[in-house]
Structure 1
Amino acid sequence: MDLRKLRIFVEVARHGSFSGAARALPLAQPAVSVAVQKLEQELDLLLFHRHDRRISLTSEGKVLLQHAQRMLEDLRQAQLEMDELKGLRKGEVRIGIPSMLGTYYFPELLMAFKQRYPQLKLSVEEAGARDIQQMIDAGELDMGIIVREQLPESLEAELFLREQMVVCLPPEHPLAAQPSVSFEQFFAEPLVLFKPGYFHRAFIDRLAQQTEYPMQIEFETNLIPLIRKIVGKGFGITTFLAMVAEGDSELAARPFSEPVWLDLCIAWKRGAYLSHADRSFVEFLLEHSRV
């Protein structure tokens, strides 16, 4: 059943005449009459009683009118929603963010994005890089934050942040008196680390493998405040992104003797369709990139 013919049929019924429908559409009156006749032929039903100067719906026409109005309203609502998504008046961004970035980098950014697009819904999942990747692959997240070195073939990404990894230790620690800390010195200390699955831990594991120094892991936790407290009390040392230690009087931050930088990306499933809301978030993130 042709939607164009249904739309014409509804207008004829609403105006009670072919001429009135023709003015409203606007179409030539013969085109309106032909469209209704073709619809009647397709259905093999008479939809209008035709009088000298007026028309009225048949019982069959009244039944069709109810269905046609509902169909056209559903179509209008669908088109409106698509237009709203395109215009970023509605929509949702589902993103996975590691806890370190979720705490120290993204809060102000997310609020600024929300201020620009107040009708968009932000759904943020805190998780490690491994879980974020799995959730993107499973369609549970649209996007996530991944370290570029850990980016799998199944994802494509845009770089938005380059940040240095620094050694964090108590201010009174002997290594805090040095301008930098060597890998050998770092791995000689008891370590406080994230659990496997987080980019922080993957970075340390990879560094230990590359340098072939053994690790002395004293504490494992994904709770950043707990890690800070343990390190601040002198029970071990750790590494954080430099932004985490900025302005913290209870922690001393020193770069590695061979500076280490992490490239962080916004990633999504390769070949997947990104909604207008998702693309706008990516564009917004790149506007505020620090690379």
Structure 2
Amino acid sequence: MSINFDLNDLQAFRAVVEQGSFRRAADAIRITQSALSRRIEKLESALGVKLLERTTRKVSLTNVGRSFLPQVERLLDDLDLALLSVGDGGALRTGSLTIACVPSAAYYFMPDAIRSFHSQYPRIKIHLFDASANEVAATVASGEADFGLSFTGNLAPEIEFSPLLEERYVMACRKDHPLAQEACVTWAQVYQHAYITLGRSSGNRLVLDRALNGVPAGRESVCEARHVTTVLGLIEAGLGVAAVPSIAMPGAAHPVLTQVALVEPEVRRQMGLLKRRGRTLTPAALEMERLIRELPGTLARN
């Protein structure tokens, strides 16, 4: 197939998707609406597929267009950053960066890293995809995310894992709970109280089930939830206690919640970076990785 389109056509396609209409897209890239339409038609004709569905009210991606978009964004972002790396173009630096994170990693790592990154590169848009461990790994493997933040588990061969920190699971509870003042508690003690569990679709649930094989629960949980953040909200509302990863816990200054060490057994997990094996990160992704690795408490610095 001969390639009968250029970067301007790809930029037009991205603009339409970002703006949601041909009129706004034309204004954004400073061309006429008819010129924009010609660029989209040229791109679709060259590829032999329909990328956009157009009605009088809205523009939406076709299935092919939805698959094509991440590749276009990556190509244009890589080109922007490559050109800027050979000249003094900091004020013009644009592009996007996609990071897939399990929610606890997003809570712990990303606020400070994003704040620092944005202060240096304000025109690079950051897409934070917070999802389950399986979804994070799948997004990295497909190339939709530049890299991921998750914990070790059943990772596909094309994913490489680089540790950032090792953490333990703790009992989260209200400060007025009977166990709140203990130095540590056993799982048997936890099961004597109303407790909340993570649902079976949670990667944390898999880690805990493996570690606690043979430890009798004694009673049913009062509730299951998919995300740790939801569990913490239920605890704050007084519905019980729960085992959660320590990095998901708010600081000591939180007015309601606190944590107690869990023992017999102590359960730990490794949190780290997920990358697609053999893939070279963009300059923007490398800079974000550097900022994450320099956060206090990380194990890996290189």
Indicate the residue corresponding to 2:105 in structure 1.
Answer: 101
Q: Which runs of 5+ in 1 are unaligned?
A: 1-77
> Residues 86 and 146 (structure 1 numbering): CA distance in 2 closer, same or farther, change over 3 Å?
farther
Of the candidates 262, 265, 279, which is equivalent to residue 286 of structure 2? 279
Question: 1:230: how far off?
Answer: 2.3
The 2-side partners of 1:79 and 1:255 are apart by 49
SS in 2 for 1:100: helix
SS in 1 for 2:195: strand
Percent of matched pairs sharing the same residue: 19
Indicate the residue corresponding to 1:133 in structure 2.
Answer: 137
Question: 1:140: how far off?
Answer: 1.8
> Residues 92 and 147 (structure 1 numbering): CA distance in 2 closer, same or farther, change over 3 Å?
same
> Residues 119 and 133 (structure 1 numbering): CA distance in 2 closer, same or farther, change over 3 Å?
same
Question: 1:95: how far off?
Answer: 0.8
Of the candidates 233, 251, 257, which is equivalent to residue 251 of structure 1? 257
The 1-side partners of 2:97 and 2:178 are apart by 46
1:176-215 deviation per Cα after TM superposition (whole angstroms, max 9, x unaligned): 2421111222344443233334333333323332646467
Of the candidates 146, 155, 161, which is equivalent to residue 157 of structure 1? 161
The 2-side partners of 1:91 and 1:271 are apart by 22
Letter in 1 for 2:290: E
Indicate the residue corresponding to 2:82 in structure 1.
Answer: 82
Q: Is the 8 A contact 1:129 1:197 kept in 2?
A: no
> Residues 193 and 215 (structure 1 numbering): CA distance in 2 closer, same or farther, change over 3 Å?
same
SS in 1 for 2:240: coil
Q: Is the 8 A contact 1:168 1:245 kept in 2?
A: no
Of the candidates 201, 207, 213, which is equivalent to residue 205 of structure 2? 201
- Under a length normalisation based on structure 1, what TM-score does the superposition of the two structures give? 0.63
> Residues 178 and 288 (structure 1 numbering): CA distance in 2 closer, same or farther, change over 3 Å?
closer
| Equivalent runs, 1:103-122 vs 2, <5 Å | 103-122=107-126
The 1-side partners of 2:219 and 2:211 are apart by 10
Of the candidates 236, 240, 244, which is equivalent to residue 232 of structure 1? 236
Indicate the residue corresponding to 1:192 in structure 2.
Answer: 196
1:202-234 deviation per Cα after TM superposition (whole angstroms, max 9, x unaligned): 333233326464673322224555423422343
Q: Is the 8 A contact 2:195 2:241 kept in 1?
A: yes
1:87-125 deviation per Cα after TM superposition (whole angstroms, max 9, x unaligned): 773442211112223234421221112212333221111
The 1-side partners of 2:81 and 2:234 are apart by 51
- Under a length normalisation based on structure 2, what TM-score does the superposition of the two structures give? 0.61
Question: 1:134: how far off?
Answer: 1.2
SS in 2 for 1:267: strand
1:178 and 2:182 matched: yes
SS in 2 for 1:112: helix
> Residues 228 and 135 (structure 1 numbering): CA distance in 2 closer, same or farther, change over 3 Å?
same
Q: Name whichever of 246-255 and 214-223 sits farther off.
A: 214-223
Indicate the residue corresponding to 1:220 in structure 2.
Answer: 224
The 2-side partners of 1:86 and 1:261 are apart by 44
Q: Name whichever of 263-272 and 160-169 sits farther off.
A: 160-169
The 1-side partners of 2:216 and 2:86 are apart by 52
> Residues 153 and 197 (structure 1 numbering): CA distance in 2 closer, same or farther, change over 3 Å?
farther
Question: 1:126: how far off?
Answer: 1.1
> Residues 268 and 212 (structure 1 numbering): CA distance in 2 closer, same or farther, change over 3 Å?
farther
Of the candidates 263, 269, 276, which is equivalent to residue 270 of structure 2? 263
SS in 1 for 2:272: strand
Q: Is the 8 A contact 2:211 2:267 kept in 1?
A: no
Flag the structure with larger Rg: 1
Q: Is the 8 A contact 1:167 1:239 kept in 2?
A: yes
Q: Is the 8 A contact 1:188 1:216 kept in 2?
A: no
Letter in 2 for 1:159: P
